Amino acid sequence: MTGLPTPTALALPGDALTLVHEDAAFVVLDKPAGLLAVPGRGPDKQDCLSARAQARWPDALVVHRLDMATSGLVILARGLAMQRALSMHFEKRRVHKRYTAVVAGELRNPDPANGWQTIELPLMIDWLNRPRSIVHAEHGKPSLTRWRLASPQHGPGTRLELEPVTGRTHQLRVHLQALGHPIVGDPLYASEAQRALADRLLLHAGWLALPHPVSGAPLEFHSPCPF
């Protein structure tokens, strides 16, 4: 994998974005917590990462998303052909992502060497309580998350490195809640006391690796964790 330069601030109309990578095929942006990835319903939910990006790159198209409360790396394709190529990368699991999270309580890795552990619980949308998702043995889709302890450990809770193998809605958040360790600051899945430990969801998409959709060259992108 080839490391890339530290993200640089890029001023755009209305606000600023952090540009991590730009070429003729795609851009990688560092989304702040609290900003929608795509427009929501209503005029008050039109400011979002994709709209800001399209003010600079009119051909920018969504390939994947992050929750509004999650910060970190997002890829936008340049044009329909690159959107199809990158979407195929995601479908074939050629794109690898890692997150940093802080979860409530003390979560111990049973492996003294801190090897990757797995959470394999089927997930589905909780239609009566949208936008929440739930574990459901009968109707849930197969969902797999890998986790291990991250360093340095500091502050309340336990700092983890997370790797979603599948990409279900709120997968990391629901899987960690199912372990009994919701992500600190989570407005949907943490208790009131656990939400009060932070002023945001402590979940950040800080590492992304994929082959370039045109050249096939291996690429690796990083975003420093803001918490």
pLDDT tens-digit map of 154-208: 878 999 999 999 999 999 999 999 999 999 999 999 999 999 999 999 999 999 9
Contact 140, 78 (CB under 8 A): no
Q: In CATH, what is the architecture of 8-95?
A: 2-Layer Sandwich (3.30)
pLDDT band at 44 (very low <50, low <70, confident <90, very high): confident
Q: Do the domains spanning 8-95 and 99-203 agree at the CATH topology level?
A: yes
Domain boundaries, the chain: 8-95, 99-203
Amino acid 12: pLDDT: 46
Reported as a pLDDT band with limits 50, 70 and 90, residue 2 is very low
**C-beta of residue 1 within 8 angstroms of C-beta of residue 209:** yes
Please state the φ and ψ torsions of residue 140, each to the nearest 5 degrees.
-70, 150
Q: What angle do CA 29, 222, 95 make, to 5 degrees?
A: 80
Residue 58, token pair as written in the block:
């009119």
Give the list of residues 6+ apart from residue 52 with CB closer than 8 angstroms, or none.
12, 13, 14, 15, 17
Choose among 189, 119, 170: nearest CA to 148: 119
CATH code for the domain defined by 99-203: 3.30.2350.10
What the block records as the tokens of 134 is: 């739930």
Which sequence positions are flagged as catalytic? 67
